[in-house]
Amino acid sequence: MTQHMMLQVQDLSKTFTLHTQGGATLPVFDGVNLAVGAGQCIALTGASGAGKSTLLRSLYANYRPSSGQVLVRHREAMVDLTGAEPRLQLEIRRETIGYVSQFLRVIPRIPAEGIVAEAAVAGGMDAAQALDAARALLRRLNLPERLWSVPPATFSGGEQQRVNIARGLIRSFPVLLLDEPTASLDAENRNVAVALIMEAKAKGAAIVAICHDETVRAEIADAVFDVSAFQVAA
């Protein structure tokens, strides 16, 4: 069966320019080609420093690639994210691409349930419905109810990661980027996170994931993509 293509990377390269070191350059990868269809999960592999996180951030337009294209299906048209204007990039992030990092960027004074619900409201969900959905996800991820109304700045790493997973998966994004989503979780909550990721796949999400846990990777990934093969020799 031919998959509905959601994300295509064509001849992508990334080199950092170190302005504080006289303009020295640090090449990361070159000539990356990757395609991800609806309902498919590709796991990025490779040694530390191979450029996995840099590639993932390039797919989200956090980093601007040095050359090449990142084509994402947005509103049924393939859009080059690398050449899109900032307003369109923000629209694509809001509607099409979800991102779950291993670290929660804490919003001061906003409770955990509000951080999760806000992501759903941004997608058009009614505020009351979003709050109910947020609480259901936090309950499923075993975050104690006493913490739902607390800003997560003082949470443990595992607790913050569960808030982050709930925030990223409360909506059905067509494309999901996952950066070590289970790194700080115990076995029970890791299994819940895997189940949520598999449910997103079943709904048709195209997923690119960095996952060093081999067991989790084997459960969620349909294929692996070795970024080391595109690493530029020093």
* List of the chain residues with pLDDT < 70: 1-3, 106, 233-234
Q: For the segment 49-94, what is each residue's pLDDT rounded down to a tens digit?
A: 889 999 999 999 999 999 999 999 999 999 999 999 999 999 999 9
pLDDT attached to residue 139: 98
pLDDT attached to residue 2: 45
pLDDT attached to residue 1: 36
Q: What's the CA gap between 135 and 170, in Å, rounded? A: 10
Look up the CATH architecture of domain 5-105+166-230. 3-Layer(aba) Sandwich (3.40)
pLDDT attached to residue 21: 77
Residue 175 near residue 9 (C-beta atoms within 8 A): no
Sketch the domain layout of the chain as residue ranges: 5-105+166-230
pLDDT attached to residue 233: 66
Q: What separation, in Å, do the N-terminal and C-terminal C-alpha atoms of the chain show?
A: 41
